[in-house]
Amino acid sequence: MDFKLGAAVFKNSDEDHRRLYGDKYDAGKKYPEFTGTAEVPLSQVTAFCEYFIWSQGAELKTNDYMEEQVIPIKISGWAKESKSGKKFLSLSLSPDYKTKTQAEQAKDAHEIQQHQEKLDAQPQQVQEAAESLASATDGDVIF
């Protein structure tokens, strides 16, 4: 359930907005001062999704603004400069340790429960198979 995602956030000028929006650019409109992209490596998708799925069973805090529970993601950032000289904020996103630990415990408990259910079902399956064999061969089932 460990994942590492990267993101870069750049400060935008009016010139950047004109370039990004092209013909749709409106000088009277207020555009975001900073924009960027988070990148999820294909090799990290499963761990990223598992973190969200299994974190639903963790002790989550409620965000007062959104008025609902939220799954935290740790963000670290570094001020950097691109090859062209433009300064940007480089971000790294990873699971919140406490939430990840609880999510792993929830996943493990679920897998143990599924395994136990399979074990519990085996005697019934054996009996049904024996009865089927006995019926097909006009025999008796003795346990």
Quick check: 7 pLDDT over 90?
Answer: yes
| Rounded-to-integer distance, Cα 18 and Cα 68, Å | 37
Please report the pLDDT score of residue 136 as a whole number: 81
Of 23-27, 31-35, 103-107, 118-122, where does mean pLDDT reach its minimum?
Answer: 118-122
Burial 72-108 (b: 16+ CB within 10 A, else e): bbeeeeeeeeeeeeeebebbebbbbeebbebbbebbe
Nearest Cα residue to 3 out of 44, 64, 38: 44
The neighbouring-strand residues paired with 7 are 38, 91
Q: Could you read off the pLDDT of 49-101 as tens digits, one per residue? A: 999 999 998 999 999 999 999 999 999 999 999 999 999 999 999 999 999 99
Helix ranges (H only) for 12-67 are 14-21, 45-55
pTM exceeds 0.85 for this model: no
Q: Which amino acid is at 75?
A: I
Nearest Cα residue to 34 out of 98, 89, 105: 89
Q: Could you read off the pLDDT of 87-139 as tens digits, one per residue? A: 999 999 999 999 999 999 999 999 999 988 887 777 777 778 878 877 888 76
